[in-house]
A = this chain, B = another copy of it.
């Protein structure tokens, strides 16, 4: 057990490293230096070395990092050694796209359940499973011991759905709903809102940052 806490900003970079290492591994690249990896990712080599050094000594002096080995170590750190069950709430186009992508990729995550409120969607096959009515959410999540969920419902339903998930025991939520949601202590909540991304891009294109670099 580590005695100090790793900052979230470091944890968020690990998947970035992992994505690149997985690609390199598939390409058959045996080793990579922090310098080369940093170049590919637009990150300083010293930062990569420091990030990795929080978790162990994975490199070899004079050589760099063994791609396949480092990939495995990062997967271990992130807890991806066995597939993690995920529930998806909201079987609209976005929910379908995300679920089907996870099913297709067959890596790290399994869609264990998909929920929707709309009776017309119940029974449809999404992400390899049949869509269930949201009324059965707690029962199914507890039965299958699902601890992570993706929320793709409209803004006005997001807080309600998050409350249901938390009540069912889910401890990590990734929401695509464009609204602020509150969760109790002990639940980790991430929000991906692509309109917010577009708005910050706008700052640099048409807003006050348009002449900046």
A residues engaging B (CB < 8 A)?
1-2, 5-6, 8, 11-12, 14-16, 18-20, 23, 40-42, 55, 76-80, 84, 86, 92-94, 96-98, 100-102, 105, 108-109, 147-148, 150, 171-172, 174, 176, 178-180, 182, 185-186, 188, 190, 192-213
Indicate how many identical chains form the complex.
Answer: 2
Verify B201–A190 contact, CB threshold 8 A: yes
How far, in whole Å, are A148 and B194 apart by their CA atoms in the complex?
Answer: 13
Q: Take A16-B196, A97-B92 as given contacts and tell me if A40 and B180 are in contact as well, using a CB distance cutoff of 8 Å.
A: yes
Q: In the complex the two chains form, is B19's CB within 8 Å of A172's CB? A: no
Contact between B202 and A79, CB atoms less than 8 A apart: yes
- Contact residue among B174, B186, B201 (Cβ-Cβ distance under 8 Å from A194): B174
Please give, as numbers and ranges, the residues of chain B lying within 8 Å of A198 by CB-CB distance: 84, 86, 108-109, 148, 150, 174
- Contacts A200-B11, A213-B185 given; does A205 touch B174 at CB 8 Å: no
In whole angstroms, what is the CA distance A100 to B171 when docked? 31
